[in-house]
């Protein structure tokens, strides 16, 4: 017994010595910035409305906006500029919109007047089933796990844009992003917020996702991300260069531009990058196979549409929440919102009820139409909107209201909510504080072609070793309930929150806009539109105005938590409206002014005078530019 006690004492002293030694070493490790860069932050700074004649771009970072403008200045069109901007976002805002992940987009052809949607979200791997997750003990799709990775979509989006409406090569458009990834750029406030991990979280990040941690922390778990420190992504630069090189080989051998772009796509989906993805999934017990990658395609589709007065809204298909703006606005159509006063108690209550009615329908009827029969004709009809409008009440709904009744369709998504997933890995148990995992871009060229896109995905899953590629975590937007409309099925696309919108006025192109913000996206876009069309604000005023945010509906992200009756408000609006909202049965929550949880809208509007008006959101680094 004494021997055992001596051993325990020796072990305890040894462990204490190791901890003390580690603490001493940690104290002396450098924790400040490595290489500060001069930069003037845009987050939280007022914006001026941009008015220009020739072309314009608004994107999530100033570097992506400049990349788009440089392409337009060289004679490229909106599709070319959008690709350059997307790749630059993948570098300079990759922690929120990673290369290879989701990129839903809308395209307007200025010559023909046609509006098209592109399917910019990948599919569930064919091996991914609800039963696989259930057998592993999960009730919802886990974060920080290789099982939350979809088949990548963004490379397909890029190839299709360049093939179908572009005019330049991938290599030309990727060169600025490659250079930026090698040379670096300053960490700005949103990056710092998104990657603001504690010491324990950085250690867990490094142990359990070493490749991801290496790319974002450079392997230095002891050093937090510092404001304005130089961020570099050399592995991503090498990957983008390898794609450009595959194209250049074809061009050097006499191939056409289109053959070169096909080579880029093939290099990703059937070549060395595909091999690296499949190898990682095989080694780490993931689902993605070579067949999942080689057979993947997105594709152009007819957009959804609905109207509000003389305005027609076009959105992405039911694999996204692109239906939400038409659903909300058609419920509100005919209500005298102006007489209520901007952001008055009655206005906030009325718009919130329309949002919650639309969300109940979204969560009951809307999902990938290749797998679900979505009653679009009914949902987008004026008669159905009138029925939903009649459900409005004088007080807060509290719980999410019942969905509309459409015989033969839907089930009650609120009958039971899943319990949070029980995740047994260390990283999943850490309380990561992360920001929005989405960015945005809008481009309108001199021919009045327009591309609007909402690229997304945070690195909450393992990175493909040696590539700088993160495949995102959008499987978390599935439900593991076979009775839910958005239930996981092999090959199905989750109903993602990112989506893009194009608006016509009196049958002509009027505006393209998008925003990050998860379930806030449609709420932000509706509020910006109403600020302009009901209350007469200009585009920039409409974007900068304070917002409110219903969180009554279950989150689109696992574990799908809901806060019935809760409404979040930016601080200036909270001070004005919180007490009155509480009297109507709401539970108001206060946030900071210009909080990026409320979106970061970018928009370009074509005025009746033929000029372009561009607005950018002070809630992030969103930047407008043009000529």
Residue 559, token pair as written in the block: 């574990």
Q: Give percent above pLDDT 70 in the chain.
A: 91
Residue 171 — very low, low, confident or very high, per pLDDT cuts 50/70/90? Answer: very high
DSSP state of 143: S
Structural domain containing residue 225: 193-231
Residue 411 lies in a domain: no
Strands 300-301 and 230-231: unpaired
Average pLDDT over residues 543-553: 98
Cα separation, 43 vs 222, whole angstroms: 27
What angle in degrees, to the nearest 10, is found between the helix axes of 571-583 and 345-365?
80
Which has the closest alpha carbon to 493: 162, 138, 156?
Answer: 156
Task: Please calculate the CA angle 289-291-293 and round it to the nearest 5 degrees.
Answer: 75
Chain CA centroid to CA 519, Å: 10
Residue 423 lies in a domain: no
Average pLDDT over residues 407-429: 50
Cα separation, 373 vs 365, whole angstroms: 8
Please check the confidence at residue 420 and state whether its pLDDT lies above 50. no
84-138 tens-digit pLDDT? 999 999 999 999 999 998 999 999 999 999 999 999 999 999 999 999 999 999 9
What pLDDT, on a 0 to 100 scale, did the predictor assign at position 425?
42
The SS3 of residue 148 is helix
Q: Backbone dihedral region of 124: left (phi > 0), alpha (psi from -120 to 50 degrees) or beta?
A: beta
Please check the confidence at residue 229 and state whether its pLDDT lies above 80. yes
238-293 tens-digit pLDDT? 999 999 999 999 999 999 999 999 999 999 999 999 999 999 999 999 999 999 99
Please check the confidence at residue 466 and state whether its pLDDT lies above 50. yes
What pLDDT, on a 0 to 100 scale, did the predictor assign at position 343?
98
What pLDDT, on a 0 to 100 scale, did the predictor assign at position 428?
40
The contacts of residue 219 (CB under 8 Å, 6+ apart) are 206, 213
What pLDDT, on a 0 to 100 scale, did the predictor assign at position 497?
97
Residue 222 — very low, low, confident or very high, per pLDDT cuts 50/70/90? Answer: confident
Residue 217 lies in a domain: yes
Identify the H or E element spanning 48.
none
Residue 133 lies in a domain: no
Residue 494 lies in a domain: no
Residue 225 lies in a domain: yes
The structural domain count of the chain equals 1
Q: Give percent above pLDDT 90 in the chain.
A: 84
30-89 tens-digit pLDDT? 767 889 999 999 999 999 999 999 999 999 999 999 999 999 999 999 999 999 999 999
| Count helices and strands in the chain by DSSP H and E runs | 21, 21
Dihedral pair phi/psi, residue 336, rounded to 5°: -80, 80
Which has the closest alpha carbon to 333: 380, 374, 377?
Answer: 380
179-189 tens-digit pLDDT? 999 999 999 99
Residue 212 — very low, low, confident or very high, per pLDDT cuts 50/70/90? Answer: confident
What pLDDT, on a 0 to 100 scale, did the predictor assign at position 435?
46
User: Lowest mean pLDDT: which of 142-146, 257-261, 329-333, 593-597?
Assistant: 142-146
Please check the confidence at residue 583 and state whether its pLDDT lies above 70. yes
154-168 tens-digit pLDDT? 999 999 999 999 999
Average pLDDT over residues 517-542: 98
What pLDDT, on a 0 to 100 scale, did the predictor assign at position 504?
98
């Amino acid at each position: 017994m004494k021997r055992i006690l001596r051993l325990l004492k020796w072990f305890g002293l040894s462990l204490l010595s190791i901890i003390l030694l580690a603490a001493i070493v940690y104290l002396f490790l450098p924790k400040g910035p490595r290489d500060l860069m001069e930069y003037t932050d845009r987050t939280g700074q007022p914006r001026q409305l941009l008015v220009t004649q020739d072309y314009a771009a608004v994107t999530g970072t100033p570097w992506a906006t400049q990349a788009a403008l440089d392409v337009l200045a060289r004679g490229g069109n909106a599709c070319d500029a959008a690709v350059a901007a997307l790749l630059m976002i993948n570098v300079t805002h990759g922690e929120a919109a990673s290369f290879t992940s989701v990129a839903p987009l809308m395209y307007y052809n200025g010559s023909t007047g046609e509006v098209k949607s592109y399917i910019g979200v990948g599919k569930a791997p064919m091996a991914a089933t609800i039963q696989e997750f259930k057998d592993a003990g999960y009730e919802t799709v886990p974060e920080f796990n290789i099982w939350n990775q979809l088949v990548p979509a963004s490379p397909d989006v890029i190839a299709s844009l360049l093939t179908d409406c572009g005019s330049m090569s991938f290599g030309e458009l990727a060169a600025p992003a490659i250079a930026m990834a090698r040379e670096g750029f300053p960490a700005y406030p949103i990056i710092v917020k998104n990657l603001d991990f504690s010491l324990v979280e950085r250690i867990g990040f490094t142990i359990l996702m070493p490749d991801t941690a290496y790319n974002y922390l450079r392997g230095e778990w002891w050093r937090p991300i510092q404001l304005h420190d130089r961020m570099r992504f050399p592995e991503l630069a090498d990957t983008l260069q390898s794609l450009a090189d595959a194209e250049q080989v074809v061009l050097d051998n006499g191939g056409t531009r289109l053959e070169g772009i096909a080579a880029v796509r093939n290099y990703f989906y059937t070549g060395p990058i595909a091999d690296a993805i499949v190898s990682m999934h095989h080694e780490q017990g993931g689902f993605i196979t070579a067949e999942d990658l080689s057979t993947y395609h997105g594709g152009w589709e007819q957009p959804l549409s609905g109207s509000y007065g003389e305005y027609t809204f076009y959105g992405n298909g039911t694999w996204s929440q692109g239906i939400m703006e038409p659903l909300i606005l058609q419920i509100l159509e005919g209500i005298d919102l102006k007489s209520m006063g901007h952001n008055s108690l009655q206005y906030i209550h009325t718009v919130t009820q329309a949002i919650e009615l639309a969300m109940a329908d979204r969560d009951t009827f809307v999902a990938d139409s290749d797998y679900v029969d979505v009653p679009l004709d009914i949902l987008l009809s004026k008669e159905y909107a009138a029925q939903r409008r009649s459900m409005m009440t004088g007080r807060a709904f509290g719980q999410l209201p019942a969905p509309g009744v459409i015989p033969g369709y839907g089930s009650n998504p609120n009958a039971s909510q899943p319990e949070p997933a029980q995740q047994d890995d260390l990283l999943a148990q850490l309380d990561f504080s992360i920001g929005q995992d989405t960015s945005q871009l809008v481009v309108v060229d001199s021919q009045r072609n327009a591309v609007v896109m909402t690229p997304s995905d945070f690195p909450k899953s393992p990175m493909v070793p040696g590539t700088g590629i993160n495949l995102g975590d959008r499987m978390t937007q599935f439900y593991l309930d076979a009775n839910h409309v958005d239930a996981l099925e092999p090959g199905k696309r989750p109903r993602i929150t990112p989506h893009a919108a194009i608006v016509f006025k009196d049958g002509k192109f009027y505006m393209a806009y998008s925003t990050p913000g998860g379930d806030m996206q449609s709420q932000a876009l509706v509020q910006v539109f109403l600020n302009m069309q009901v209350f007469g604000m200009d585009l920039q005023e409409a974007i900068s105005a304070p917002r409110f945010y219903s969180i009554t509906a279950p989150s689109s992200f696992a574990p799908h938590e809901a806060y019935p009756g809760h409404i979040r408000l930016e601080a200036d609006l909270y001070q004005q409206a919180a007490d009155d909202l509480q009297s109507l049965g709401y539970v108001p929550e206060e946030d900071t002014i210009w909080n990026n949880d409320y979106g970061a809208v970018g928009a370009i509007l074509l005025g009746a005078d033929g000029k372009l008006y561009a607005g950018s959101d002070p809630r992030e680094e969103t930047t407008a530019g043009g000529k």
